[in-house]
Amino acid sequence: EILETAAAINDGSYYVEWSVNEKAALEVAAGASYAGARTLITMKQVGLNVASDPLMSLAYVGVKGGMVVVVADDPGPISSQTEQDTRHFARFSKLPVFDPSSPEEAYEMVKDAFKLSEEYGTPVLLRPTTRVCHGCASMDVGDERERHQPEGFVKDSKWVIFPRLSYQNHLKIEERNPVLGEKLSTYRFNTLTGTGRRGIATGGISYAYLREALGGANPRVLKIATPHPFPEKLALEFLHSVDEVM
């Protein structure tokens, strides 16, 4: 429902377009991002298969304007052909991925994903699952919306991914991701809560199910909101604080 909603409430400050398929959508967005525009592309997990060709190249080429790729996963599956898990695709493509556990987190993570994308010059995945996508919540919406002014396209050899440049960029990605994992260990939605020597590791919508099942109980809970790059430092802190992990 993202694209329909964005089109319905458009006040003219942004541009909305449907493409013939997910691959074309990502390529159109890549062109806009090369010119410095912020872009958001929406699809389901099966659509990511179609878009994987330009996405894998974009992981190496990078972006100038922030690019967020929203991939709605469908565990179940309730309305899809597969139950693919985009967290695995994030590891495969070496791209950051945010995994919200609620509509409120999804709202905040879009802003965080754009900032991360622009800081590191990379596409960023956002993975809302079925229950997050179909959930409703009351939340505070910021009044001040940043108006992003694209610089325009600047001719640069980095937009042409020759093998030598691809190799160099691959090395940069391998150096970047451990640093990013360290940074994400302090991300506000990656949390370590509760007490006791028995711990539960969870993330995404499963965290919401867990809180409901626990009732008033308060065991040690590790919640992972950024499965890749993995917040290893926070996970090690969790492991050292418990005797048993579920």
Encode pLDDT of 61-109 as tens digits: 999 999 999 999 999 888 888 899 999 999 999 999 999 999 999 999 9
Note the pLDDT tens digit of each residue in 20-51.
999 999 999 999 999 999 999 999 999 999 99
Please give the model's pTM, rounded to 2 decimal places: 0.94
Q: For residues 2 and 43, what is the distance between their CA atoms, to the nearest angstrom?
A: 9
Q: CA torsion sign, 213 to 218 to 221 to 226?
A: positive
Q: Are 22 and 43 in contact (CB under 8 A)?
A: yes
pLDDT digits (tens, 9 = 90+) for 141-165: 877 677 778 888 888 888 888 899 9
Tens digits of residue pLDDT in 197-234: 999 999 999 999 999 999 889 999 999 999 999 999 99
User: Does 236 have pLDDT greater than 90?
Assistant: yes
Residue 189 near residue 105 (C-beta atoms within 8 A): yes
